[in-house]
Structure 1
Amino acid sequence: MTDATVLTVLRELIDHGPISRPVLGGAVGLARATVSSSVNDLRRRGLVTEVPGESNGRRGRPTTGLDLDDSNFALAGLEIAVDRVRVAVYSLRGRELLRQEHVVDSEVANPRALLRQAAAVLHETLGRINAEQRELLGVGVSVPGLVDASTGTVKYVPSLGWHDVALQKGVVEALGVDVPVIIDSDANFAVLAERRARLRAGVEGTSIVYLTGTYGISAGIVTGGQVWRGSRGMAGEVGHLILESSGLPCVCGRNGCFETRAGIHALIDAADPSARRSASSPAGLAAAIDHLLARASDGDTSAMAALTDAGTWLGRGSAILAALLDPDVIILGGHYSRLEPWILRPARASLSESLLIAESGMPDLEVSARGVWGATEGAALAVLHRLAAAQQPLP
Structure 2
Amino acid sequence: MIRFLHTADLHLDSPFKGITDMPISRLTELRESTFAAYENLIQYAEKSVPDFVLIAGDIYDGEDRSLRAQMRFVKGLERLQQAGIPVFMSYGNHDHLGGKWTRFQLPGNVTVFGPEVETAELTVRGQRVRIHGFSYKERHIKEAMIGHYPNSARDSGIVDIGMLHGSIAGEESHAVYAPFTREALLEKGYHYWALGHIHKRQVLHNEPPIVYPGNLQGRHRNERGVKGFYEVELEGNEASLKFVPTSVLVFDEIEIDCTEMSHANEWLTACQNAATEVMERTGACILSVRNIKMSPEASHLFSGSSNEEWLEVLRESADRGIWFSGLQFEENKKSALLPDSPLVRSVKEQIDSWDDEDWKQALQDVYQHARSGPYLSALTAEMKKELSDEAGKLISNELST
TM-score of the alignment, normalized to the shorter chain, above 0.5: no
- Larger RCO, structures 1/2 (Cα 8 Å, 6+ apart): 1
Larger CA Rg, structure 1 vs 2: 2
Structure 2 length-normalised TM: 0.26
TM-score, normalised to structure 1, is 0.26
